[in-house]
Amino acid sequence: MSDARPAPVVGIVMGSDSDWPVMEAAAEALADFEVPYEVDVVSAHRMPREMVDYGEHAADRGLKAVIAGAGGAAHLPGMLASVTTLPVIGVPVPLKYLDGMDSLLSIVQMPAGVPVATVSVAGARNAGLLAVRMLAAHDDGLRERMAAFQRELNEQATEKGRRLRN
């Protein structure tokens, strides 16, 4: 029997399974838009060879974007960006100390030529939505769904104002 699951087009990776409680919001955003994704732990420091291998083969395996989350000395997104041509979205995961500032600065302050699109600390849902937007640039159906989602956000915000005024 063949595996009927669609091939993943977005890779969600993280430095440890302890990042998952933050990172699962990226998976939920992709699921909301029915974008197939894969999830894995690929630690830059504990699994450097596997990390390079993941980055080097991600595009060949059909992925269109990578969402990478890590905490502390969060080198995973940047290192992946250095070995793949795919867009990499970095998610700073907050740990026990420093409120995620260490993670944020580790991810956002990349050298010229090696971009990582960094979302806010624990901003995994936005990372998922950004990946959807990247895919939607070449997919009219997905673009319309994103537009509908944005209309919904507008209606919700408008309704909040209406309730406050009344």
- Applying CB under 6 A, the residues found at the interface with ligand RP5 are 14-16, 18-19, 43, 45, 70-72, 93, 95
Q: Which is nearer to ligand RP5, 43 or 126 (CB)?
A: 43
What is the secondary structure of 54-121 as a DSSP string?
HHHHHTTTT--EEEEEEESS--HHHHHHHH-SS-EEEEEEP-SSGGGHHHHHHHH-PPTT---EE--T
Q: Is 99 annotated as a binding residue?
A: no
Say how far apart CA 81 and CA 158 lie, in whole Å. Answer: 39
Q: Which is nearer to ligand RP5, 34 or 40 (CB)?
A: 40
Bridge partners of 137?
none
CB of 121 to ligand RP5, least distance (A): 12
CB of 46 to ligand RP5, least distance (A): 7
Q: State the residue number with the nearest CB to ligand RP5.
A: 15
Largest CA distance in the chain: 60
In the annotated binding site, the residues are 16, 19, 46
In the annotated binding site for substrate, the residues are 16, 19, 46
